[in-house]
Amino acid sequence: MKALLLSIFLIAPLAAKPNIVFIITDDLGYSDVSCYGQKNFSTPNIDKLAASGIRFTRHYSGATVCAPSRCSLMTGKDGGHAAIRGNGPFELPEGEANLAKTLKSAGYNTAMIGKSCVTGNTQTPETVLARGFDYFYGTTDHRDGHFRYPKFVYRNTEKIEFPGNKLHTGTDYDANLYTGEALGYIEKQTPEKPFFLLLSYPIPHASVIAPEKERAAARPNVKDEIVHKGSNHYTNTPEVKANHIGMLTLLDDAVGAVVEQLKKQNLIENTLIIFTSDNGSHYEGGYKPELLGSNAPLRGGKRDLYEGGIRIPFITSWPDAIKPGQTSDHPSAFWDFLPTVCKLTESPVPKNIQGISFAPTLLGKGEQKKHGHLYWEFQEKAGRRAIQQGDWKLVQYNLSKPNKLTTELFNLAEDIGENKDLSKAHPEKLAELLKLIETARVPSELFP
């Protein structure tokens, strides 16, 4: 009987297009949540979400910094083909297909709340609306996301000011603003029309500041506290570890609140919830991943193309369609989400994208196609690039400085921490990947 029910569950057509809530955090490390190995603090609501669906162990961001990673998510293109390949004043191209436009065409209400994923370093809320979102609440210049107490946000194109906020102190904490707005948005949704909510949190990116409530709760679990004296535009942080834990506690509570609101609206069963990060944990505002094992057991962090910079937590939950309690090691990346959504909503897949739908993995049916390779590049730090083919990975640093160029080869199945360079031991594989990486990108005037 159980086998029959499971068979029906797997082959039955979906009753309706799913609501989609995509929660993306900023600089959250692979092991910054306890279901991925965090031992210094717990994230019970995120863990519960993972237990209700699939926890991906080999999912990758679009890039190792914010703007190009989010461009990859929105457009289905990898770092060798995306229009935005670095941080800066770069808006998502107007004429290009993207996630929001696709879902709007499929009949969805579309909203982005939090840090904008389409506007780079620009004060252009109108761009968010022009790229397919019906509703926007948040900041558009990603540098404003560095401040926990912003002086203003936009609601659509209207500027909402917070007179009590002084960037690093104030009355209105950014993540709390976004959670409250998200709950209000969900409350207005009905089963008659599906919705897409891109909930984009700027934490735990620096500045490393949590509200006193969460910071106080974290103190008993902190040993060997770190004091940071402000540098650049990041503020002084006398309790780096407690603030980091406090931000993650607040984030975990927010995930729990979103789930509860969906339940209250009787929307949870047919809602696909994604929880993830835009790249690995950072080295900013006094924080380092090794302080709390944020990227363990991976090497490196933000701005690296080692696993610590690009391998991220990726959790999917959808009670109507995803069997709970699963773990998947299917190699996937941000550029796969757009074609996955196209499959789930029966929308046409945009041409010339590198993404491959992972809907078969989500639904537990059909053949799951795999990538021939995954590619990343980073424009700063004298140029970096990496390519992964199966378990093999090639990493190159200092591309613009030939006399300092480093080329390393790793086998991730045997060495997830990328500690042993195999380039000399496997010259044939090295030669193969060096040839392949030369074909993995198309030219870009902005990012040569």
Same domain, 347 and 316: yes
Assess if residue 11 is contained within a domain: no
SS (H, E, C) 56-116: EEEEECCCCCHHHHHHHHHHCCCCCCCCCCCCCCCCCCCCCCCHHHHHHHCCCEEEEEEEC
411 and 306 share a domain? Answer: no
* 84/233 same-domain check: yes
Which pTM was predicted?
Answer: 0.96
Q: Does one domain contain both 389 and 349?
A: no
Instruction: Check residue 233 and give its pLDDT.
Output: 81
Q: What is the pLDDT of residue 231?
A: 74
Residue 41 lies in a domain: yes
Q: What is the pLDDT of residues 176-227, one digit of tens each?
A: 999 999 999 999 999 999 999 999 999 999 999 999 999 999 999 899 999 9
Asked whether residue 373 is domain-assigned, the answer is: no
| Number of structural domains the chain divides into | 2
CATH number of the domain that residue 310 is part of = 3.40.720.10
- Same domain membership, residue 211 and residue 141: yes
Rounded Cα–Cα distance for residues 185 and 194 (Å): 13
Whether residue 54 is contained in a domain is answered as yes
Q: List, for residues 84-124, the tens digit of each pLDDT value.
A: 999 999 999 999 999 999 999 999 999 999 999 999 999 99
Is 36 part of any domain? yes
Amino acid at 4: L
Structural domain that includes position 398? 381-437
What per-residue confidence (pLDDT) applies to 230? 83
Choose the final residue of a domain: 328, 363, 398.
Answer: 363
What pLDDT shows up at residue 16? 85
Q: What is the pLDDT of residue 12?
A: 42
Would 371 be classed as within a structural domain?
no
Neighbours of 381 (CB within 10 A): 14
DSSP 205: S
Is residue 308 located within the same domain as residue 390?
Answer: no
> In the chain, which stretches have pLDDT less than 50?
1-14
CATH number of the domain within which 433 lies? 3.30.1120.10
Q: Do residues 108 and 170 share a domain?
A: yes
CA neighbor of 159 nearest in space, from 171, 173, 185, 141:
141
Give a yes or no: residue 8 inside a domain: no
CA distance 318 to 19: 9
The pLDDT score that the predictor gives to residue 118 is 96
Q: Are residues 393 and 251 in the same domain?
A: no
Same domain, 60 and 192: yes
**303 shares a domain with 389:** no
